[in-house]
Amino acid sequence: MIQASRTEEPNSDFQITHSSFPNPQPILPLMSATWLRQARIISALVYIFLQITCFIFIIVCIVRFPRCQKAPTTEWWMNGVILRFSNHTLKFNDLTKSLKEHKTRFNMHAIWFRPVFPLSNQSNPLGWKDIDSSLGEETDLIKLMERARDENIRIIIDYPLNHVSIKSNYFRSYESYFVWNEQGNTSNWMTTNDNETSAWTYDKRKNSFYLHQFDNDNDSIDINYRNNRVFNDIIDSISYWNTKFHFDGYNLPGLSYAYEDYEYKNGTGNNQTRHLDEDYLLLARIRSEIDEKHILLFDSIDSLDTTDKTLLARYYGDQRKALGGVQLASLNDYILPNETETNLTKLFESYYHSTFYKQKQLFVWSSLSSNAILNEAFFATCLFHTGTISIDQQGSRLLDNQLHRLRTIMSHTRKEDVFRDGKIRQTILPGSTLLTIKRTRRGSKSYMIIVNFNDSDKNATIVDNDKPEKVEMFLNNENFCGNRSAKLRIIELKDSICLKPYGYIIIRWLPPTESLSIIF
């Protein structure tokens, strides 16, 4: 084959030489190598893309669904403390002057006061729109409200709804205001505080019987809500107090007795005079006057043993909030008269298995006991559950060191997520009947209270697989038996714990990966 070439010499001409082409190279291996390089590049790009996508997905999950999400904000009554003034002679000015002192001493959210309108000697209302002059003037009440706002303290008042005193002007002037029955002597309705006393009393002037479900030395008479004038007057009075003085809450004693069977039929257990449909409608009408930022307290439900979910839903408000209800209820069998009449361990066990606990219906934990050691242990235990404790300013008789410990617990129940949004587990330790309540929440310290509500020393070992071997002693009321020091900082759970009557300890610990920080 002929091939043209050029010599290296300058000005040389092209020369024609004979040569032969090399053998042709295979095309397929060259193409395979090219595609392989391209496949590698594409795979690398896909891998990088997937890595970036995965990284972005993880970031989004962390932002939207954090592992230790902050607990939601809760209303004050979820873990609230109310200071109740049972002294009916306390004046507005005296309370205004002592408000700051009470806040420092009790660390409360609210004060619970008697009705501000006039009362008879038996504490029954004489009217609904006037201020009781024995408490002070209208300007004095306004000053009290303003001072309470400055101290961030809420004021709740009693607002009896069921009856008035027979000494009121209503009794002689407006007969149709009340419930009368000419056949009252044949009725088996009894008073609420004495099942052997008839709820009907004969009035010679009218030649008829009037109803008084709350006996109070024959001083009370039930008002007739089936009279539209009565209904409207009560709603107008609530609107008046709410609009003019802006109270933060109202306790509604007698609400569930407001209506009665209009045919006065005989029944058993007050089933003709209590929990009628009209009672719920009255509550809903009151709720429409008072927004849900203001508390309504239902006083009271008879027993923890109720399994009537419909009854609770109607008083607390249905789930769709079509009818508003109360935020809290007071329970008759959960107001402690003294330590000898109430088995507190059984009472807490009853609550833990009650419809209230399962439905997350809140109520007020109260004590009228004069035993200060019992009251401290009782309130400390109540703070581990959800709800509000009511400390009677006179009856509880708590000492300064006891109040200091309770204030410490209160401050933690308000700020720690585990108390606002944690899980609760309550157990009674076998053999010792010591009560334990544990609060846990992912990412937060866990807390447990161990309390002896028995009248003798009790000894037990805490067995819990979720706790480390060593835990921090957070607080105790120095009621250990034996040689254990109340000032111990670390407790080994393999050792038994012995508590005197009404003694309690509170321990806490971190999740397992963080537990060493407690010890070191």
Coil, helix or strand at residue 64: helix
Residue 80 CB coordination number (10 Å): 24
pLDDT the model gives residue 442: 80
Mean pLDDT across the stretch 41-69? 75
- pTM value is 0.80
| Helix or strand run (H / E) with residue 99 | helix 92-106
Q: What is the DSSP string of 291-354?
A: -TTSEEEEEEES-TT---HHHHHHHHB-TT-SSB--SEEEEEEEEE--TTS--HHHHHHHHHTS
Cα-trace Rg, the chain: 37
> SS3 for 410?
helix
> 261: closest CA among 211, 218, 316?
211
Q: Which two tokens stand for residue 209?
A: 């019987």
238 and 290 Cβ atoms separated by less than 8 Å: yes
* pLDDT of amino acid 515: 43
Higher pLDDT, 449 or 337: 449
Q: Using pLDDT thresholds of 50, 70 and 90, give the confidence band for residue 59.
A: confident
Location of structure tokens 């257990």: 269
Sheet strand arrangement including 490-492: 423-428, 435-440, 446-451, 504-509, 470-476, 490-492
What is the rounded average pLDDT of the residues 376-390? 90
pLDDT in tens, 214-244: 876 788 999 999 999 999 999 999 999 999 9
pLDDT at 136: 94
Share of the chain above pLDDT 90, in %: 31
What is the three-class DSSP state of 278? helix
Instruction: Give the pLDDT score at 258.
Output: 92
Confidence of residue 7 (pLDDT cuts 50, 70, 90): very low
Give the pLDDT band (50/70/90) at residue 1. Answer: very low
pLDDT at 260 over 80: yes
Average pLDDT over residues 56-67: 67
At residue 177 the predicted structure's pLDDT band, cuts being 50, 70 and 90, is: very high
- What number is the average pLDDT over the span 427-456? 87
pLDDT of residue 520: 38
Higher-pLDDT residue of 229 and 41 is: 229
Contact 148, 94 (CB under 8 A): no
Nearest-5° Cα angle at 10, 7 to 14 = 40
Q: What is the pLDDT of residue 267?
A: 75
Cα separation of 50 and 476, whole Å?
A: 55
Q: What residues are paired with 428 via a beta bridge?
A: 435
H or E element in which residue 447 lies? strand 446-451
pLDDT, one tens digit per residue, over 391-438 is 887 656 788 899 999 999 999 988 888 888 888 999 888 777 899 999
Distance CA 99, CA 105 (A): 10
Q: Judge whether 407 and 470 are in contact, CB under 8 Å.
A: no
Question: Do residues 491 and 470 touch, judged by C-beta distance below 8 A?
Answer: yes
pLDDT at 512 over 80: no
- Measure the CA–CA gap between 396 and 187, rounded to whole angstroms: 41
pLDDT at residue 186, as a whole number = 80
On average, the pLDDT of the chain sits at 81
- Quick check: 5 pLDDT over 50? no
pLDDT above 50 (res 513): no
Q: Kindly provide the b/e burial profile for residues 410-434, where b requires at least 16 CB atoms within 10 angstroms of the residue's own CB.
A: bebbbebbbbbbbeeebbbbeebbb
pLDDT of residue 460: 83
Q: Judge whether residue 56 has pLDDT over 60.
A: yes
Is residue 499 helix, strand or coil? strand
Which is more confidently placed, 264 or 448?
Answer: 448
pLDDT for the residue 359:
83
Report the pLDDT value the prediction gives residue 99, as an integer from 0 to 100.
93
Identify the pLDDT of residue 3: 45
- Encode pLDDT of 317-365 as tens digits: 765 555 668 888 876 555 555 555 567 888 888 888 888 888 888 888 8
Which pLDDT tens digit goes with each residue over 180-210?
998 877 888 888 877 778 889 999 888 999 9
Instruction: Please tell me the distance from the alpha carbon of residue 427 to that of residue 466, in angstroms, as a whole number.
Output: 14
